[in-house]
Amino acid sequence: MKEGEERTIKQVCKRRKCEYCDKLATVQLTFLLPNCRSNPASSAYGKDDCSWCSDAEVFVCDKHEKDKYGIAEDNGKEWCAEYPYGERFKHLFLYWETVKED
């Protein structure tokens, strides 16, 4: 590394995969802590409308979306909302991955 030296970092925009299998994610599930409106540890604490609040998120495929209540229970949380992959929520599913160049 030298002073004034430049480098270029190449990144590729990718879509998130299901957290339970290797398929592309089609739904983002959000979860809240139990008794979220009265639980100070929850992001929905004291709020009337908690539909956009989230204490945890999971990206899943269609197959695993059907088990949203089981996923919530396994993590000690309650299911809150789901956001499907599409024009409105596409940005939630995309991320930048740095490509290593030799």
* Domain spans in the chain, listed from the N-terminal domain onward: 10-94
pLDDT band at 63 (very low <50, low <70, confident <90, very high): very high
pLDDT tens digits along 15-58: 999 999 999 999 999 999 999 999 999 999 999 888 899 999 99
Residue 9: CB partners within 8 Å, gap ≥ 6? 98
Percent of the chain with pLDDT over 70: 99
Of all residues in the chain, the percent with pLDDT exceeding 90 is 79
Q: State the greatest distance between any 2 C-alpha atoms of the chain, in Å, as a whole number.
A: 56
Question: Residue 102: what pLDDT?
Answer: 62
- Whether residue 60 has pLDDT greater than 70: yes
